[in-house]
């Protein structure tokens, strides 16, 4: 395997992992907000993550896992 292929595989893994763990949620939110209005006021990462966790407080059925 060449070095370039290795780097590509590592990048894919990193992307997959960040998607799966929800770490990329903020970037997705930013991209979404900016795609409608590039100068839109957006939440900071801290505010966004707080809101995301606190939403589970309001409706615990979101993100519930099975037995």
Binding site for another protein (CB under 8 A): 11-12, 14-29, 31-33, 35, 45-46, 48-50, 52-54, 56-67
CB of 65 to another protein, least distance (A): 5
User: Cβ–Cβ contacts within 10 Å for residue 48, how many?
Assistant: 16
Q: What is the DSSP letter of 62?
A: T
Residue 2 or residue 60: which is nearer to another protein going by CB? 60
CB of 13 to another protein, least distance (A): 9
CB of 5 to another protein, least distance (A): 14
CA-based R_g, the chain, Å: 16
Composition of the chain by helix, strand, coil, percent to 5 = 65, 0, 35
């Amino acid at each position: 395997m060449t070095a370039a292929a290795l780097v590509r595989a590592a990048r894919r893994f990193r992307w997959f992992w960040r998607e799966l763990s929800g770490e990329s949620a903020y970037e997705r939110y930013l991209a979404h907000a900016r795609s409608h209005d590039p100068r839109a006021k957006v939440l900071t990462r801290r505010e966004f993550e707080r809101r995301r966790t606190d939403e589970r407080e309001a409706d615990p059925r979101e993100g519930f896992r099975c037995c």
